[in-house]
Amino acid sequence: MELQEEILSILSENARLTMEQISHIVNQPIDIVQETIDTLEKNQAIIAYQCVIDWKKIGKQRVRALIDVQVTPQQSYGFDVIAKRIAMYEEVVNVYLMSGAYDLSISLEVDSLEAVGRFVTEKLAPLDFVVNTRTHFILKKFKEANVLLDTEGPDNRLHIAP
């Protein structure tokens, strides 16, 4: 595996590792590792370092919703202008161009179910190019950003055979 790919793979698993730790894993000098990471950041292959947070562990309610959006593309711009405009809202975590019945998929994170409703009715639906939306609420997260969540103990439920 190429050094850049190996370092990216390591950082995607744990971005908190020190240069010394990464250097040891890839069996390269620290200055080579630092130079490689600097280049990856400069070229924006590494865009940001993020933290996966389980908000309920600190008693904070966060509501995550996925919103499918059907839009009328802008002539000569396609979906790019629309997606970038929607991405500017602070509640929006992700925006993806999708295949299928809906054109865009939006991931939203807010403090309440009501805030999701306000976003859709006050910010998203009034946009001229929005034709239709479908909102899905995330009820429970099992894995996020390649990290398993809620792995505190064994499942003690009774097994029932069909």
If you count DSSP H runs as helices and E runs as strands, how many of each does the chain have, helices first? 5, 6
Is the pLDDT assigned to residue 73 strictly greater than 90?
no
Confidence (pTM): 0.80
Please check whether residue 94 is in contact with residue 106, taking contact to mean a CB–CB distance below 8 angstroms: yes
Structural domains in the chain plus CATH codes:
3-42 (1.10.10), 55-140 (3.30.70.920)
Q: Where are the alpha helices (DSSP H) in the chain?
A: 3-13, 19-26, 30-42, 80-87, 113-118
pLDDT tens digit sequence for 101-132: 999 999 999 999 999 999 999 999 999 999 99
